[in-house]
Amino acid sequence: QSALTQPASVSGSPGQSITISCTGTISDVETYNLVSWYQQLPGKAPQLMIFEVTKRPSGVSNRFSGSKSGNTASLTISGLQPEDEADYYCCSYAGSSIYVFGTGTKVTAL
Amino acid sequence: EVQLVESGGGLVQPGRSLRLSCAASGFTFDDYAMHWVRQTPGKGLEWVSSISWNSGSIGYADSVKGRFTISRDNAKNSLYLQMNSLRTEDMALYYCAKGGNGYNSAGFFDYWGQGTLVTVSS
């Protein structure tokens, strides 16, 4: 149960697109289409942004999109806005009722 | 409106026990898997444990296996985490989270509580 690997920080100018990677193994990301992404604002509980690799819950901006290739999943934020500044975590199901989170990425709008 | 309210956190000495509870409302509790996730202050999220709708499927992180026990009472719309042999590294904010995939415990976490803080110190 090793944590999925994410970059510690990603930054971009307002209006730009940024992508956060999430690298796992064949035991989790590569095998299961059950990668989800969470946004955590300072002092708040995490909020679901993407589930099942590409799906967006109702109420989440379509500026957020997800994808996966092999053992790496990605979250793309298009048209970066100041309110997108937060910590982002990926998570993958790993079989047998087990999950693993990513190491987390701090997104900054320059 | 889905609400998840954790309780039971507090200060406990290493080696002692603590039981966390999560009161759920706003959805049909026994239709969904439930989960515990923790976060050390200033650090990342760590999945702790999951339980299916009927308690038939349960999973634990290696870091807590053999010490923590997850359970649920569908009649009371409540989730629990019994934590034994607590260690300083268990000190964290513990979140209760609702599974987003119905009966299937394999999925994601679509609603989270605000967390209850567990402090392990002598």
What is the rounded CA–CA span in Å between residue B118 and residue B93?
Answer: 6
Of the partner residues B47, B108, B112, the one whose CB lies closest to the CB of residue A45: B112
Contacts of B75 (CB under 8 A, 6+ apart): none
The predicted structure's pLDDT at residue B93: 98
Could you tell me the pLDDT band of residue B95, with boundaries at 50, 70 and 90?
very high
What is the rounded CA–CA span in Å between residue A84 and residue B115?
Answer: 23
CB pairs below 8 Å between A and B: how many?
A: 74
Task: Name the residue of chain B whose CA is nearest to A56's CA.
Answer: B110
- Give the mutation candidate from A39, A41, A47, A99 for the B interface (greatest B CB count, under 10 A): A99
Burial group, residue B10, by CB count within 10 angstroms (0-12, 13-18, 19+): exposed
Residue A83 is classified by DSSP as G
The predicted structure's pLDDT at residue B106: 80
Task: Please give the structure tokens belonging to residue A97.
Answer: 């009722």
Residue A37 · residue A89 · CB < 8 Å: yes
Per-residue pLDDT reduced to its tens digit, B43-86: 899 999 999 999 999 999 999 999 999 999 999 999 999 999 99
